[in-house]
Chains A and B, each alone.
Chain A
Amino acid sequence: MASIKCIYCNFVGTIEKQGITFDGKASDIPISRSFKHKGHYPFLRQVFLVILLGIACAMPVMAAQIQLPAIVEPASQEHHVGKLIFVELVTPDIAVAKKFYAGLFGWTFRDIQDGETKYAEAFLDGHPVAGLIHKNVPASQHRQPAWLSFFAVGDVDAAKNVALQNGAKILFEPHSIPNRGREAVFADPQGAVFAVLASSNGDPPDVLAAPGEWIWISLITSDPETNAAFYQTLFDYEVFELPSSAGAQHLLLASDNYARASVNTLPADRPNAHPHWLNYIRVKDTVKMTAKVVALGGRVLVKPRIDRHGGKVAVVADPFGAPFGLLEWPDTESKEVTK
């Protein structure tokens, strides 16, 4: 019985077992390195493994490539660095969250699902106002959802460098989302979490928010002055001092000659308070809306109260504890200010 050796793997076998027929005496065949043994397909094997590796390498990237709508449709040429341009909420029950916000503000939703990721884009009168992401929170983690604020920047990577050089921490590295733009998430030097977004379609125009849209944002922090300096460096804000009581500091951040945000000292004697950004939705009647929040399963964190603009402000939480503000802002121009 003649032996043969595979040219690829040095397998030594017999021509009979390899199904090779030979017209003549088998003993005449010398040991050869020119055979490929039965079932040996090195090329196909390599192609298979390359495909396997390609899929394995691409999976994380593919997971990040969910298609999200732009925050501005149609595209605009406007850019307003430092402006709050979008907000996102991660919630453990997207159906309940949608019911709450739809009932409260009349938002409508467009569902986007990619694999296990559920995303709902919220609209008000056809304009995108927010994004909701479904994500379970294990009970052991003791976490509650919070709205994440996205500020406009022109260059996310440059913003990252500035933020890190000035004491921020990166929580989510700059990454691009098709149609949406490029974004990153940080914790500022006092720990308040915020995001920056270079929108692919430009920024929303500077117009008065309609009832049900985000109108204002404030930073409640342990060190307003240092925080104001940080955001001034990052977004080139102008900083205005506002009257405040002793022991507190109230500042106003502005860009493009518009007020963009306030910075306020954390309330005293609140050991569980922590620096955070708080977004406000414009409402026509804060008192009525807080009652509606409760009826829909939410909570009131700060009861309605008159603020410096003359309207009422309240802070509430959705059924999962995500806090947000309600801010009255009449349509009519007014010079009357309640101090």
Chain B
Amino acid sequence: MNIILLRWLRWLALAFVLCTLTVLLYGCIVPGGGYGYDDGGGIGGAYYEPFGFDYGGWGPDYQVAPYRGGDHRPASGGGHASAHAYRSAPASHSMPSIPSHSRSGGSRSRSGGSRSR
């Protein structure tokens, strides 16, 4: 076989190997295909959940929202160094709520907490 052709083939083989390695390396750096997740076109991620997952079933006492204003912290809640996996907020800290002032202005007061950091 022509020696020139052989040399071209050698270069092309080298280029192919390098391209393959690059693709594989990139695949390792940006792992897609995890649980409920894969590459979102390179701009972040594509988050999916398996079809048929159940989002309902909330019983009558099931509540998710924050309180509005005031201090609704149960007397027994907080301050226990305790038996929880987490650290409870100090008992002196009142139950916070979400911001109460709008983007356009208004009061800057915080609706829930009574302390400042």
Task: Find out whether the CB atom of B101 lies under 8 angstroms from the CB atom of A185.
Answer: no
**For the complex, what is the distance from the CA of A329 to the CA of B66, rounded to whole Å?**
10
Interface of B, helix, strand, loop or mixed by DSSP: loop
Interface set, chain B 70-101, CB cutoff 8 A to A = 70, 72-74, 77-78, 84-89, 93, 95-101
- Whether the pair B48, A137 counts as a contact (CB closer than 8 A) is yes
Contacts A183-B44, A272-B53, A337-B70 given; does A241 touch B61 at CB 8 Å:
no
Q: Is A1 an interface residue (CB 8 A)?
A: no
Q: Which residues of B contact A (CB under 8 A)?
A: 3-4, 7-8, 11, 14-15, 18-19, 22-23, 26, 29-32, 34-37, 39-59, 61-70, 72-74, 77-78, 84-89, 93, 95-103, 107, 110-113, 115-117
Q: In the assembled complex, which residues on chain B have CB atoms less than 8 Å from the CB atom of A90?
A: 40, 45-48
Question: A225 interface residue, CB < 8 Å from B?
Answer: yes
A327 & B42 in contact (Cβ 8 Å cutoff)? no
The verdict on A308 contacting B86 (CB below 8 Å), with A144-B48, A301-B56, A337-B72 known, is no
Within A325-339, which residues are at the interface with B (CB < 8 Å)? 325, 327, 329, 331, 333-337
| Identity of the chain A residue whose Cβ is nearest the Cβ of B29 in the assembled complex | A173
Known contacts A169-B34, A207-B101, A210-B102, A270 near B15 by CB under 8 Å: no
**Which chain B residues border A206 with CB–CB below 8 Å?**
99
Closest 10 CB pairs of A and B: A267-B57, A257-B113, A143-B48, A117-B41, A245-B61, A229-B85, A238-B89, A259-B66, A229-B86, A148-B47
A271 to B56, CA, bound (A): 11
Q: A49-B15, A315-B56 are in contact. Are A146 and B62 (CB under 8 A)?
A: no
A256 to B117, Cβ gap below 8 A?
yes
B45, B72, B99 — most chain A CB neighbours (10 Å): B45
Q: Is the CB of A334 within 8 A of B69?
A: yes
Query: A206-B99, A274-B53 are known contacts. Are A133 and B43 too (CB-CB below 8 A)?
Result: yes
Residues from chain B with a CB closer than 8 A to the CB of A61 are 26
CB < 8 Å: which of B36, B68, B103 contacts A205? B103
Is A49 a contact partner of B11 (Cβ separation < 8 A)? yes
Q: Are A248 and B61 in contact (CB under 8 A)?
A: yes
Contact A191 B42 (CB under 8 A): no
Q: Tell me, rounded to whole Å, the shortest Cβ–Cβ distance linking A14 to chain B.
A: 15
Chain A interface residues (CB < 8 Å from chain B): 9-11, 40, 45, 49, 52-53, 56-57, 60-61, 63-66, 68, 88, 90, 114, 116-117, 119, 127, 131, 133, 135, 137, 141-148, 169-173, 175, 177, 183, 185, 187, 191, 193, 195, 205-210, 215-216, 218, 225-226, 228-229, 232, 238-245, 248, 250-252, 254, 256-259, 262, 264, 267-274, 276, 278, 280, 301-302, 305, 307-311, 313, 315, 317, 321, 323, 325, 327, 329, 331, 333-337
Contact of A193 among B8, B36, B87, B96 (CB under 8 A): B36
For residue A148, which residues in chain B have a CB less than 8 angstroms away from its CB? 44-45, 47
Instruction: Tell me the complex Cα distance, A65–B72, Å.
Output: 47
A53, A185, A208, A240: which contacts B19 (Cβ < 8 A)?
Answer: A53
State whether A57 touches B112 (Cβ < 8 A). Answer: no
Residue of B nearest to A169 (CB): B34
Chain A residues with CB below 8 A from B103, complex form? 127, 205, 207-208, 210
In contact, A238 and B93 (Cβ under 8 angstroms) = yes
On whether the beta carbons of B65 and A262 are closer than 8 Å, the reply is yes
Which residue of chain A lies nearest to B32 when distances are taken between CB atoms in the complex?
A: A172
Q: What separation, in Å, do the CA atoms of A143 and B37 have in the docked complex?
A: 10
Measured between beta carbons, the chain B residues less than 8 angstroms from A228 are 84-86
Bound complex: CA A137 to CA B48 (Å): 9
Q: Which residues of A contact B19 (CB under 8 A)?
A: 53, 56-57
**What are 14 A-B interface contacts by the 8 Å CB criterion?**
A49-B14, A90-B46, A135-B46, A145-B48, A183-B44, A187-B34, A239-B88, A240-B73, A240-B77, A251-B86, A252-B95, A252-B96, A334-B69, A337-B72
Q: A68-B43, A146-B36 are in contact. Are A259 and B112 (CB under 8 A)?
A: yes
Chain B residues contacting A307 (CB-CB under 8 Å) are 63-65
A86 to chain B, nearest CB (A): 10
